[in-house]
Amino acid sequence: MAVPHAQKLFAATGLLFGLCTASQLSAAPALVVDASSGEVLHQEDATRPWYPASVTKLMTVYVALNAVRTGRLTLQTPLRVSNRAARAVPSKMGFKPGTEVTLENALKIIMVKSANDTAITIAEGVAGSVEAFAVEMNDVARGLGMRESHFVNPNGLHDPSHVSSARDMAILARRLLADFPQHSSLYGIGALQLGRRIIPTHNGLIGRYPGADGMKTGFVCASGFNVVATATRGGRKLIAVIMGAPNARLRTLQAMALFDASFSIRGNGTPETLASVGGGAPDMRPEICGPGRKHEEEVPIPIAAASANSYISHEDSGSAAAFFAADQRRGQGSGPSQGRAMANFAGVGLGQREMLQPIPIYIGRAPGWNGRIAGPTVPDEEPAPEAAEKPAKKGRLAARKPPSTIHVPVAAKPAAGARAAQGKKPAAGKQVAQAQTTAKPPAKPKGKSAATPAQRRGQ
């Protein structure tokens, strides 16, 4: 339970959720832990099984970095996008089969964009298949002492057997920071830049809450809005885990309040640790995505259509300055105050976001790379016919590699139905990854067609 002098604030969390959602949300899991000592400063239902959604990608990062540590591949190893990866549902980068991306760039993409297709590409590059990678995820989870977790995919797309808990995610976060400190910058990236495309983080704390420096958000209808967040103040780092918030804004405000209260706590006399923190996961779909509710945290929408208190992913702003200027205008008027009670959050905005410098990424191999290419070791899925026939979108901005990048053609034969674009330098303003093409359709018969109206509409 929470320590006595923070109980009043934490009790307001239940009031907030009780006002905003069904009663099930009032018991949504939450936990705050000191990253260094492992002392639990606050916990509510921390061991209750919950659908983790995209915070799953923290385990994907751990398994991938562990593979680098053991020499199975390097951060510069090119990963080839498979048909299976290309068919993933959004959020996604939309890379075509045969596209190559380095492991380092892929890790940045899943931490910022939360791209499901890229998570599959990492899994297949590291373990040969999604299924083999899931076995590694579960082996690592057991080794770390994650008792409530079971993973079936690398991206967190909903599966009834894909579960974790707030306690387990806090354990994972601590071990990521302790075992791979040289890669801690992965978790606090505010935005990526791929050519002229700006890809901002879904983590509403980054650039808003003083000291916020990570880690990962997640959302599916069955889970609600989850976050594993870190913040550092006075050399002290805390980890906050929130599961099942009713929307992204309240998830961020709750994390702010938990951090505010917990940074004032130093020692509890008889500290509770993650190891001592003691049915199936609830499905939040009716409360989160029921009638009249629409939450698309991971789906890009135009800036002009965003509400004043929503933080969304926008990919076509043209420049980082334009994106963040618009984001600041949306959030003006009510920045976070220290120790704000959760019950006062109704109508409260997230506050201004500081200007964040996007980190450049690219597709293709690293300059001078002449090693192996990682990809699936099992037969690949065939691309969906509708995906193969879908024309390239007009007006998409080029995803250019930096000038220093040396292009090397793909050695292996690209997947059936895909255009091998790697050996051609795109003209300025053209998109690197063109749409897949198929054989020329048969000519239409002369005279009146015997096709049905539905068939004619599809021609």
Active site residues: 54, 57, 114
Distances in Å between the Cα of 291 and the Cα atoms of 12, 249, 285, 288, 294 are 27, 20, 10, 9, 8
Residue 223: half-sphere exposure toward Cβ, Cα within 13 Å = 31
3-state secondary structure of 111: helix
* Structure-block tokens of residue 393: 């979108």
Q: Where do we find the tokens 């609600």?
A: 224
Give the span between the Cα atoms of 227 and 248, in whole angstroms. 9
* Three-class DSSP labels, 357-422: CCEECCCECCCCCCCCCECCCCCCCCCCHHHHHCCCCCCCCCCCCCCCCCCCCCCCCCCCCCCCCC
Count the neighbouring beta carbons within 10 Å of the beta carbon of residue 323: 23
Q: Are 264 and 56 in contact (CB under 8 A)?
A: no
Order across the sheet with 197-200: list the strands: 197-200, 191-194, 359-360
* Structure-block tokens of residue 430: 């053209």
Give the span between the Cα atoms of 251 and 202, in whole angstroms. 11
Give the span between the Cα atoms of 130 and 110, in whole angstroms. 15
Pick the closest to residue 332 from 319, 312, 344, 348 (CA basis): 348
The residues near 103 (Cβ < 8 Å, ≥ 6 apart) are: 64, 68, 73, 74, 75, 76, 77, 79, 122, 125, 374
Burial of residue 372, with CB atoms counted within 10 A of its CB: 0-12 exposed, 13-18 middle, 19 or more buried? exposed
Q: Are 240 and 41 in contact (CB under 8 A)?
A: no
Pick the closest to residue 78 from 401, 402, 374, 363 (CA basis): 374
Helix (H) or strand (E) holding 44: strand 39-44
Q: Are 236 and 34 in contact (CB under 8 A)?
A: yes
